[in-house]
Structure 1
Amino acid sequence: MSKKNHDYYYSYTSPPTSASGSQSAEPSAPSLGQTDEAMSLPSYQDALGGTSPLPSHSEFEGLTRDTTIPPYNPDLNSYASVSSPTMFNTASKRHCFLGRPPPPGYSIYGAKFLTKKEGVISRDTHLNTDGEALVQFLQQHNTAPRLKINFHGYHEETHYRTRNTRDEDGNWREEREPVTKQVDDFQFSIDCSDEVSPQCHGIYVMPDPKTGAIKTVRELCDEYVHTNSQLKELRLTKVINWNYAQLTRAFTAAIRSHGYRHSVAITYELENYRIYVKSNSTISQMVDHKAIRVLFFITCLWILAWPILLLFRHQFGHRTLKSEWTMRCTEQQWYDQHLREVLSQISPVASFGNVPFII
């Protein structure tokens, strides 16, 4: 089973089983004459086959939780949807200062931002000059990410196409060449966003790799605003702690026991999982502009430009600033709740491997 792992995306692909090339393979799925009630669904433990549980990969290894600020403040979030920069007087509002009242005249800054599939991006000038406003912005938008699980089953079919060509003597000759294409057997998604806990369990920061000093989120934000660079950017990544590998192994085994023998890909896709703050400089906006990126790619200027940009770009928090989220249910509970829904969309197919066709 191959696996790809990233901060925001998990993908597992199981290749075809050995039975897929044999016509005599007997799937364990019930016959068409059996009723739904007679259908035996494998339990979570049965699907895992009694093997030892797979360890859940921790995205927070080496990071330290910042206990000096709350990961999310509902008082701040009420200002997270403003369309233009504004200042809000919070003298009459409750604010979390570790039990202390806010300073006199304390205000919350509502920054301009752009919402995309992966999260929010802001180039607000004030966020690039005020560390406190930057911390507020991270708290405002540190809301629960959305999770979707994609199920994809497919196989390959090879056919031969013929074409006529002339040989060196000018005579016509017929040639056959194989063409292999992917055929989708099933492809669907299940939205798990409602099952993501709305409560963040903390914001984590990576200690300084050279000195080992532990920074707070505020110190990281202050370091960002004091950096004099037109290509600086800060990123917070939201991570859902779940044992994706074990859940995937259980569903893959259940799909196999249902009679499906071809390739199975199960991917976990996040939305609203990042918060970006970037410089408002012209060069920073040009670097992110799609048209300019395409132009650089077509003209091959990226070969010269990209190394220079990587050299002068200052990235904060890209691998060192994360917030922790969990699911309302365990992997086994989610499996039990959705197994019938998954298998009902998968038809056991007779597997004959790659059958050649002549066109």
Structure 2
Amino acid sequence: MRSVDKQGPSSGDEAGRRSDAPQPQPPAPVVPSSSAMEEPSAPPLLPPSYDDVLSSIHSDASAGGSNRRDGNNNWLGGSSSTDRPLSSSSAPHMMTPPLPHHQGPYPAAGAESSQGTSVGPFGDHKSPLPAPASPGLAAAGLTTGESEPLITVYATNPPTSSNFVPGRGSGDPGELSSRDFFASLEYKRSSKGYSSADPWLNTNSRALLRFITECNERPRVSVEVVGSHTENRVVESTRTENGQTRCETHTHQESIVDFKFSLELTPYVHDKGSLYTARGPTGEPYDISTILEDYVRADNFLKEIRVQKKVIWDYELVRREISDFIKTTGYPHTVTVSFPMEHDRISVKSHNAAAKIWRHPICSFLCLITCACIVGWPMQYFATTRWRNKLMSDFVVLASPRDFVDRNSSFIRNQVSWSARPCLFTTTC
């Protein structure tokens, strides 16, 4: 008989069986029902296109302001699809509402700033987010923010005054906000400054005074530094006449520019100017209201009144400070310092049709080639001398010349460079 081995399995066999046995799996996560799942968020709305904004403006003007929003940014007035124009860049069935009326580079008409002053193109805060000042300028109370370019789009901000007419001045200029006032004028801004030939300014002294006051912003000033020296150039020319060759030599001086750079002075200029008048024959200053009233009542078709802006500073001391500092770097040649200025005037000209023709560039060209300028230009000069140099505006620089040079010393030192060249060289022609 066979003997049956009743001994249990060995440790090796038992380990093999354990490895072959299925391992317990972790419990599966509980999947919530479809009702408990959160709804997927809607895709973000794309910004409105330019066509959407224009269509909203035109529909708003034609419907009398029916397409408006409430405090929760919800649409008021009209529930049809025309109240919400489709964006050309969005999905076919995705509706993108236009911009609210209060959006734009300037707040709505009649808005008040945090300091309680009116915000406008020429207010204390010319933009909602002015450029931050540097630590050095902030300690001296200086700002680096520049005024934003003026805009005359008044359709996106409905006027607050009942007698406001876009594109035409009417009523009391003191009742209009800064935005509405400039939207009712025809004017332009160039590198020289502000100019206008609007009829309202030529017939209303109060409107003229407000235009001058609002445009009395600081000019743009820079400090231009040029280092140069002169070199003697010897030119030899060879000439052949009657079979004989003759050599001629002559010497002339040539100016060589070693470096040229500019420093911005505008952030150091106070943004508030002092408007004042010239003194009369008696020594007393003219009254500004009297000057403006005299201009408005004048029948001269070539009349023009101008406000000249000036920046008060010790320019001679600035020239010496900059020249002395550049000399410390070892530069041995001539240093020239100048102060170019832009946006330094405000001019209001006659709105007469003959005056507009006279100021046209074609008329000026014809006067030049026909020699009519011999009579025309003196006539224009004497026609405007009545109000010339009567109104001025002074702006003060808040930094001393030495402080200005110290603040920009590193920049000046890095810009100064020159190369050693021979003082005499020859060119053969």
Q: 1:254 to 1:77 in 2, by over 3 A?
A: closer
In 1, the alpha carbon distance for the partners of 2:347 and 2:358 equals: 15
CA contact (8 A) 1:85 1:112 kept: no
- 1:313 corresponding residue in structure 2: 384
Q: 1:310 to 1:150 in 2, by over 3 A?
A: same
- 1:267 corresponding residue in structure 2: 338
Q: 1:248 to 1:351 in 2, by over 3 A?
A: farther
Q: 1:131 to 1:271 in 2, by over 3 A?
A: same
Larger relative contact order (Cα-Cα within 8 Å, sequence gap ≥ 6): 1
CA contact (8 A) 2:321 2:401 kept: no
In 2, the alpha carbon distance for the partners of 1:104 and 1:256 equals: 59
- 2:47 corresponding residue in structure 1: none
2:175 pairs with 107, 110, 119, which one?
107
SS of the residue corresponding to residue 408 of structure 2 reads helix
Q: How far did residue 220 of structure 1 move? A: 1.1
CA contact (8 A) 1:82 1:112 kept: no
Q: How far did residue 112 of structure 1 move? A: 1.6
CA contact (8 A) 1:259 1:348 kept: no
CA contact (8 A) 2:173 2:207 kept: no
1:206 pairs with 278, 281, 284, which one?
278
CA contact (8 A) 2:302 2:355 kept: yes
1:123 pairs with 174, 189, 197, which one?
197
Q: Would you say 1:175 and 2:248 are equivalent positions? A: yes
Please show how residues 68-79 of structure 1 align to structure 2 within 5 Å.
77=122
In 2, the alpha carbon distance for the partners of 1:306 and 1:73 equals: 43
In 2, the alpha carbon distance for the partners of 1:105 and 1:286 equals: 29
- 1:341 corresponding residue in structure 2: 411
- Partner letter of residue 405 of structure 2? Y
Q: How far did residue 193 of structure 1 move? A: 1.7
Q: Would you say 1:324 and 2:369 are equivalent positions? A: no
In 2, the alpha carbon distance for the partners of 1:229 and 1:85 equals: 33
Q: How far did residue 242 of structure 1 move? A: 1.1
CA contact (8 A) 2:208 2:292 kept: yes
SS of the residue corresponding to residue 320 of structure 2 reads helix
- 2:259 corresponding residue in structure 1: 186
In 1, the alpha carbon distance for the partners of 2:172 and 2:414 equals: 61
In 2, the alpha carbon distance for the partners of 1:291 and 1:230 equals: 19
Please show how residues 57-68 of structure 1 align to structure 2 within 5 Å.
none
Please show how residues 201-240 of structure 1 align to structure 2 within 5 Å.
202-209=274-281, 211-240=282-311
Q: 1:281 to 1:254 in 2, by over 3 A?
A: same
Q: Would you say 1:138 and 2:212 are equivalent positions? A: yes
In 1, the alpha carbon distance for the partners of 2:324 and 2:210 equals: 45
- 1:358 corresponding residue in structure 2: 427
- Partner letter of residue 193 of structure 1? T
CA contact (8 A) 1:77 1:139 kept: no
CA contact (8 A) 1:120 1:272 kept: yes
In 1, the alpha carbon distance for the partners of 2:335 and 2:378 equals: 38
Q: Deviations over 1:100-128 (max 9, x none)?
A: xxx99953443221111121111111101
In 2, the alpha carbon distance for the partners of 1:271 and 1:299 equals: 33
Q: 1:120 to 1:344 in 2, by over 3 A?
A: same
1:151 pairs with 210, 225, 235, which one?
225
Q: How far did residue 148 of structure 1 move? A: 0.8
In 2, the alpha carbon distance for the partners of 1:140 and 1:104 equals: 16
In 2, the alpha carbon distance for the partners of 1:160 and 1:282 equals: 59
CA contact (8 A) 1:128 1:279 kept: yes
In 2, the alpha carbon distance for the partners of 1:346 and 1:297 equals: 44
In 1, the alpha carbon distance for the partners of 2:331 and 2:310 equals: 32
In 2, the alpha carbon distance for the partners of 1:137 and 1:104 equals: 13
Q: What runs of 5+ residues in structure 1 fail to find an aligned partner?
A: 1-71, 92-102
Q: 1:292 to 1:255 in 2, by over 3 A?
A: farther
SS of the residue corresponding to residue 280 of structure 1 reads coil
Q: 1:326 to 1:213 in 2, by over 3 A?
A: closer
- Partner letter of residue 402 of structure 2? Q
Q: How many residues align?
A: 272
Q: How far did residue 165 of structure 1 move? A: 4.1
- Name which one, 1 or 2, has greater alpha-carbon Rg: 2
Percent same amino acid among aligned pairs? 23
Q: 1:206 to 1:335 in 2, by over 3 A?
A: same
CA contact (8 A) 1:90 1:107 kept: yes
In 2, the alpha carbon distance for the partners of 1:232 and 1:177 equals: 54
TM-score normalized by structure 1?
0.65
Q: What runs of 5+ residues in structure 2 fail to find an aligned partner?
A: 1-116, 127-148, 163-170
Q: How far did residue 160 of structure 1 move? A: 3.0
In 2, the alpha carbon distance for the partners of 1:319 and 1:313 equals: 10
In 2, the alpha carbon distance for the partners of 1:308 and 1:105 equals: 33
CA contact (8 A) 1:83 1:113 kept: no
CA contact (8 A) 1:243 1:331 kept: yes
Q: How far did residue 170 of structure 1 move? A: 7.4
- 2:318 corresponding residue in structure 1: 247
- 1:33 corresponding residue in structure 2: none
In 2, the alpha carbon distance for the partners of 1:230 and 1:323 equals: 26
In 2, the alpha carbon distance for the partners of 1:85 and 1:231 equals: 31
